[in-house]
A and B are shown apart, each in its own frame.
Chain A
Amino acid sequence: MLTQAMIMLLVGIIAGLIGSILGLGGGILITPALTLMGVDIKYAIAASIIAVIATSSGSSIAFLKDDVLNLRVAMFLEIFTTVGALIGALLTGYFNGVVLYFLFGALLIFQAWNMWKKLRAKNYEKIEVNHDDLAEKLQLNGSYYDKNIKKYVSYSLKNVPGGAAVMFGAGIASGLLGIGSGAFKVMAMDGVMKMPLKPSTSTSNLMMGVTAAASAVIYFFSGMIQPVIAVPIALGIIVGSSIGARLMQHLPAKLIRQIFIPFVLLMALQLILKGLGIG
C-alpha cells in the first residue's frame, strides 16, 4: 500500500515535470502507468483528468508570476475549447469515435512532422512579424522574457480563426474521446498562429485545467476518482510541475521541440491503436 503510494508519487513528479515543460496534460503518461500497475482503466482515466488539472494549476502559478503565458490568448481560445468539449460530450452517445481516433492520430503525426521541419530549418525559432487585424483588435500580440537567451521577445500572431478552429476540434476530441488536448493546443498556437514555443506551451498549460474541469467534476461526483490513487499522483504532480515550470524557461526552445516530437508521436500511436481497438 505504502510502496504503491510512493510509486504513484514518483510517477506524478515525472509526469508533472514533463507536462509542464511541454504544455501537455501528463495524462499521456499517467493512464498507461496506472494500467500497468493494475488499476482499472476507468479509474486510471479519472486519475489522469486530476493529473491534467494538477499540472495546469501547479505550473501556471510560476508561468503567471514570470509573465511567460498570454492570458488574453488563453481566455479567447478557451471559448472554443469549452464549447467543443461540451458538444463532444453531447455527441458521445450518437457518434462513432473510431474515425476520430484515426483523424486525430493523423493530425498529431502531421504536427510532429511540422515540428521536425521547424527543427531542420535554418533560424528555426525566428520570430515572424505578422499583421493580423483580428489579433490586433483582440490585443492578442504580446511579449515575454526568455530566460534562456536572456532577452525580451515580442511576438505577433496570425491566422487567429485557424487557431480557433483547431481549438474547437481539440475540445471536441477531449469531450468525445476523453483524451487530453494539450498537444492540439500547442499545435494551434505554435503551428497555426505562429506564437513562439514557450508562450505556446505555457498558455496551453493554463488552458488545460479549464478544459478538464467540467469532466473532472462529473468524475468526482460519480465516484470515479479514488483518493488512494489520485492523491499521491496529484501531490507528486504539483511538485513536478512547479519545478518543470521554472526549468522550462531556462531551456532552449530547440530542446523543448526535440522532446516534444517523440511525445506527440507516442500520443498519435496511442490514438491509432485505440482506433484499431487495441489498448
Chain B
Amino acid sequence: MKDEMSRLELIIGKILRVGVAISIGLMLFGCLLLVFRNNKEIIPYYSYLELNKILSGILVLQPNAWLMGGLFVLILTPVIRVLTSVFAFMKVKDWTYMWITSLVLLILIVAMIFGISQK
C-alpha cells in the first residue's frame, strides 16, 4: 500500500515539475523578449486576458503574451495536479479516493466558472 502511494506521489510530483518548468520557461523567455525588444512596440498585458489572444501573442513574440502565458500555466498547476490524482487513484483501483478527488475537481471547476461569470 505504502509503495503504491509513493509511486503515485512520484508521478504527481513529475507532472507538477513539468508544469512549473513550462511556466518558468515562458516567463524567462518573456523577460528576454523585454530586454531585447529591438524598438518593437510592446502591447500592454491587459490585451492578453483571453487564451486565444495569449496564444497569438506568443506566436508573434510579444513579451507580455509570454509572461501572461507563463503565469496562466502556473495558476493551472494545482488544477492539473488534482486531475492527475484522479487518474492515479483510478490506476491503483482506490475507488474511494478516486471519487473524493473527482469531487474536489468538480468543486474547483464550479468555483472557476462561477467566478468568471461574476466578473
Contacts and interface: CB of A to CB of B under 8 A. Distances in A.
Contacts, number: 146
B78 A231 contact: no
A57 B79 contact: no
A210 B104 contact: yes
B13 A60 contact: yes
A53 B82 CA distance: 14
Among B10, B77, B78, B101, find the residue whose CB has the most chain A CB atoms closer than 10 A: B78
Interface string A184-225: 000000000000000000000010011011111110111101
A119 interface: no
Contact of B115 (A65, A78, A214, A225): A214
Contacts of B68: 220, 227
Q: How large is the interface on A (under 10, 10 to 19, 20 to 34, 35 or more residues)?
A: 35 or more
Contacts of A142: 5
Contact of B107 (A60, A61, A79): A79
B75 interface: yes
A89 interface: yes
A240 B116 CA distance: 31
A234 B71 contact: yes
Interface of A: 50, 53-54, 56-58, 60-61, 64-65, 67, 69, 71-72, 75-76, 78-79, 82-83, 85-86, 89-90, 138-139, 142-143, 206, 209-210, 212-218, 220-223, 225-228, 230-231, 234-235, 238
State the 5 A-B residue pairs at the shortest beta-carbon distance, nearest first.
A64-B13, A209-B78, A218-B115, A227-B67, A214-B111
